[in-house]
Amino acid sequence: MNLYLRYFDRETLVSTVDDAIDFLRSIDEIDVDPELEADIREYVASDVFYPKRYKIHPRVYFIIIKTDASTMQDFKDKKAVHAPETPAQKQASPVVNRLNEICPGWYEGTLDFKRVLMVPGTGKFQYRDTRFAARVKAESGLDCYERIVEHLRERVDERSQFPSAKGKNFKFRYLGKAKM
């Protein structure tokens, strides 16, 4: 595992944490204190593979990226992008799997959204958090979401904002098969 570090136009690819800290110390604008050094060591030792960004000044950062690239050119060509290691990591999240699972019948869906309402007296508009629940006949959780949003779009201000079906603001449960 190597580390790619960049601060503006200065960049390096190193193989150890000590080399990374030495690189950062060579930059005058970056004050490498024991707290920063400990945080970098903790990040490198962790199983986390997303890039880490450290703030130096307002709107000024340096980044560290873990990579399997052995040379800077390999890194630039994205030849050593870290891929998920297990089949479980490659699969979609359980929420997405449940959303798309086809199971015709009755669903109960609850949606928390931002509804645009006029404030009486002022004539101005504001967003209000609103919860809407409904029982619908649908083919899947995603179909339930789409039917609820379609129903709401016809009845609320067009500026209202609806969350993603995959987010925490939409919940559904399967109630059972529909009788013909």
Q: Split the chain (180 residues) into runs of 10 and give each run's mean pLDDT.
A: 90 92 92 91 87 88 90 79 53 72 92 93 92 94 94 93 91 83
Q: Which amino acid is at 119?
A: V
Model confidence, pTM: 0.49
Q: What is residue 159's predicted lDDT score, i.e. its pLDDT?
A: 92
